Structure formats: structure tokens, C-alpha cells
């Protein structure tokens, strides 16, 4: 799990503990591990896969947000978000690898290229790839970009502000 996932997990565990205390249910480590087992996840949260984390978070939310059905169904949304992010990485890499035009023939050529690479790397067409295979394919395509000397588009995290090109120019107006 990455740092953001650990923070989300710990925040949900804190809400779960508060809700369990309010309901008079046990909320110790044994109860938390039992909840992990119900979700077919390992006892240690650091060993979760993305799907296991989604299931555990949804189960925790079923206690902390009992009236919010959408929060409990969130694992499907999270898996879709990760899948779409993997697809976007693949599309961006293919667009950078192929020519810069946007007419229909080049778009069809990109789709064919993506299917051919997907077949050779993963053994199945691009449209049917599961999340893990999409990430693998994205890495392969990005490595091809790197090998050709083309840099992929930088990934900008919307939470982290982008620094100014010249930090001194951003803060200083020239007057003391």
C-alpha cells in the first residue's frame, strides 16, 4: 500500500472504532483482524492488494456510515478509477509513440497498435485486460517511450501544488 492508501485506511479504522464504541461492539485489534478475514484479506493491512483494501474500506464504512449506501458500494468505483487511469496511461503513451495527427486513420492505427502490443505482452486484446495487466502494459509502453528518447507527459498530482519555475520570482517583488 502507498502512503495515501495507508492514511485512508487508518482514517476509516478510526471512524469504525468510534462507531463500534457507540454501538457497544468490540473494536480491538482482534475485531479488526476478524473484519479483515470476512473480506478475504490478510490480517496485516500492509499486505493488502488494491481489491482487498477496497473491500475492507467498504466493510469499515458499513459501520461508520450505516446510512450511506454509496460509500459502501465504493469498491466498484475505486476499481473503475484505477482501470481508467491505467487505460489513460496506455493511450497517452501510444499517442506519444505514434504521430501527432488526430485524423481518423491515425486514431485507428493507434487502436490497432495498442491491440497488437497488448496481444504480444499480455496475450489478450486491450479491451479485455484486467487492471493488473493494464498497468503492466502501461509500463511496457512507457519504457518504449523512454527507449526512443521521448518523455511521457508528466503526471501532475492535483493535491500537490506545482512549484513555480523560479521560486525567487514567485515570492519576491524586488522591493525590500
Kindly report, residue by residue over 53-109, the tens digit of the pLDDT.
988 988 898 888 888 877 767 666 777 888 888 899 998 888 888 765 555 566 777
Pick from 57, 72, 87: which residue ends a domain?
Answer: 72
Q: Rg for the chain (alpha carbons), in Å?
A: 22
Claim to verify: residue 65 and residue 33 sit in the same structural domain:
yes
Q: What is the pLDDT of residue 19?
A: 92
Look at residue 132 and tell me if it is in a domain: yes
Burial of residue 53 (CB within 10 Å: 0-12, 13-18, 19+) is buried
d(CA 20, CA 61) in angstroms, rounded, equals 11
Backbone angles phi, psi at 138, to 5 degrees: -60, -40
Look at residue 164 and tell me if it is in a domain: no
Domain of residue 51, residue span: 3-72
Looking from the CA of 46 toward its CB, the CA atoms found within 13 Å total 0
Amino acid at each position: 500500500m502507498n502512503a495515501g492508501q495507508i492514511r485512508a485506511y487508518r482514517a476509516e479504522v478510526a471512524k469504525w472504532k468510534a462507531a463500534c464504541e457507540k454501538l457497544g461492539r468490540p473494536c480491538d485489534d482482534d475485531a479488526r483482524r476478524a473484519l479483515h478475514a470476512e473480506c478475504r484479506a490478510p490480517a496485516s493491512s500492509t499486505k493488502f492488494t488494491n481489491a482487498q483494501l477496497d473491500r475492507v474500506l467498504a466493510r469499515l464504512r458499513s459501520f461508520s456510515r450505516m446510512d450511506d449506501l454509496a460509500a459502501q458500494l465504493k469498491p466498484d468505483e475505486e476499481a473503475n478509477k484505477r482501470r481508467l487511469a491505467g487505460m489513460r496511461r496506455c493511450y497517452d503513451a501510444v499517442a506519444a509513440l505514434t504521430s501527432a495527427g488526430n485524423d481518423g486513420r491515425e486514431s485507428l492505427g493507434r487502436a490497432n497498435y495498442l491491440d497488437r502490443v497488448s496481444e504480444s505482452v499480455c496475450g489478450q486484446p486491450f479491451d479485455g485486460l484486467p487492471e493488473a495487466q493494464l498497468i503492466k502494459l502501461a509500463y511496457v509502453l512507457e519504457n518504449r517511450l523512454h527507449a526512443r528518447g521521448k518523455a511521457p507527459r508528466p503526471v501532475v498530482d492535483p493535491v500537490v501544488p506545482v512549484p513555480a519555475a523560479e521560486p525567487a520570482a514567485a515570492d519576491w517583488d524586488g522591493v525590500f
